[in-house]
Structures are given as C-alpha cells and as structure tokens.
Structure 1
Amino acid sequence: MDERKRDSIVAYLRRRMAELGIEPDDIAASIAADQERLRAARYRDALGHTWDGKGDAPQWVVQATSAGQSLEHFAITGTPEPASGKSTGVDWRQDPFAGSRLAKVKPEQVAIS
C-alpha cells in the first residue's frame, strides 16, 4: 500500500471515530478484550468459532460431536498463529465433514484467486 493511500485511510478512520465518539483507548480496550477471549478459548473450529469449554456447548460443537467428531479434534494447542493477511482457503482433503452441511464455508471466508 502506498503512503498516500495509507494516509487517506487513516484520515477517514479518524474522521469516522470522531463522528461516532470513539477514542483510541476504546479501540485498545476492545482489542485487549478480544485477545483475552481468544486466550481463554480451549476449542476452535475451522471457521474461527471458539468455546472455552465451560457451560453449554455451542451449536457448532454439538453438531460436530453428533456427527462423530471428537472434541479433542478442536482443542487449541499453543498460541494461535497471526494471520498472514492472505487466506489459504480450505483443504477439503483433511476435512472429516467434507460433503456434509457442516463443511459449508461462507463466501466471505474463501479467497478468490
């Protein structure tokens, strides 16, 4: 991204933040809360849905386990890798739900090459 385009985007974001009364501290607090939520997550599916393992299981966990997938398949190990900014798509060869309605991917999550 060139410098002029970046400056234009920054100016636009600052103007919109001022219009909506959003302070930089609000954004920092929101990012911190999101990171804390992700750290608390113990399970994650391919679409990025997370669950901390407490309380009632969310629908995506119920559907996956009802279809025969083990809960340990979704266990988060280590720290999540930062997004590279480029979607790699979906490797259906390794997806146990390929061909089922559980394997559906939303169009906005698929990179168009």
Structure 2
Amino acid sequence: MDERKRESMIAYLRRRMAKVGMKAADVAAALAEDRLRQKSVRYRNAFGDTWDGKGNMPQWLQQATSAGQSLEHFAIAAPVKPADKRRPAVDWSKDPFAGSRLATLAP
C-alpha cells in the first residue's frame, strides 16, 4: 500500500471514530482483550467455536464428546517455540573439495 493511500485510510478512520465517539485507546484495549482471549483458548472446532476450559462445557463440545469424539481432538496445541536457527559450525580446513566446483554441486 503506498503512503498516500495509507494516510487517506488513516484520516478516514479517524473521522469515523470521531463521529461515533471512539478513541484510539478504546481500539487498543479491544485488541488487547482479543489477544488475551485468543491466548486462553484451549479447544476449538472447525466452525471457529472456542472454549477456554473454564466453566461449563459448551453445547457444541458436549454434543461432540457424547457422540464419541475425544476432547483431545478439539485441543489446541501449545505454540511450539522455534528451534535455534543457527547453523552448526563447519571446519572447512579438512574439506578436500573446498574452493573447487565440486564443493558447490548438490549430491
């Protein structure tokens, strides 16, 4: 998106927010609340219905488990932490092909 379109969009949104009485802090608080809610979700179905595991089990999950589906089927996996992306150090001093065309060919 080019800079002129971006500025135009921002101005439009600010006018609309002022018209309905919204403030930027309201939007920021709503976004933070959504992020917190998404982090606490533990179960989700294909339609996007979610449950955080607290309180009574929702109807969609009760029906699925009573029909024989396991609760683990709807569990959301914990986010996997990325592995260390550094490559292992290689000692090229003992490579007989270092500097030759054979060093760049794929096996």
Output the TM-score relative to the length of structure 2. Answer: 0.63
1:70 Cα shift? Answer: 1.0
The 5-angstrom pairing of residues 28-43 of structure 1 reads: 28-43=28-43
Based on CA coordinates, which of the two structures has the bigger radius of gyration?
Answer: 2
1:44 aligns with 2:44: yes
CA distance in 2 between counterparts of 1:3 and 1:59 reads 47
Tell me how many residue pairs correspond in the alignment. Answer: 80
CA distance in 2 between counterparts of 1:3 and 1:60 reads 45
Q: Which residue of 2 aligns with 1:59?
A: 59
Q: Which residue of 2 aligns with 1:78?
A: 78
Structure 1 regions of 5+ residues with no counterpart?
81-113
CA contact (8 A) 1:38 1:50 kept: no
Distance 1:11 1:54, change over 3 A: same
Output the TM-score relative to the length of structure 1. Answer: 0.60
Q: Which has the higher contact order (CA 8 A, sep 6+)?
A: 1
Distance 1:79 1:15, change over 3 A: farther
1:24 aligns with 2:24: yes
1:2 Cα shift? Answer: 4.1
CA contact (8 A) 1:42 1:75 kept: yes
- The RMSD of aligned alpha carbons is 2.0
Structure 2 regions of 5+ residues with no counterpart?
81-107
1:25 Cα shift? Answer: 0.9
Identity %, equivalent residues:
62
CA distance in 1 between counterparts of 2:23 and 2:50 reads 28
1:5 Cα shift? Answer: 3.5
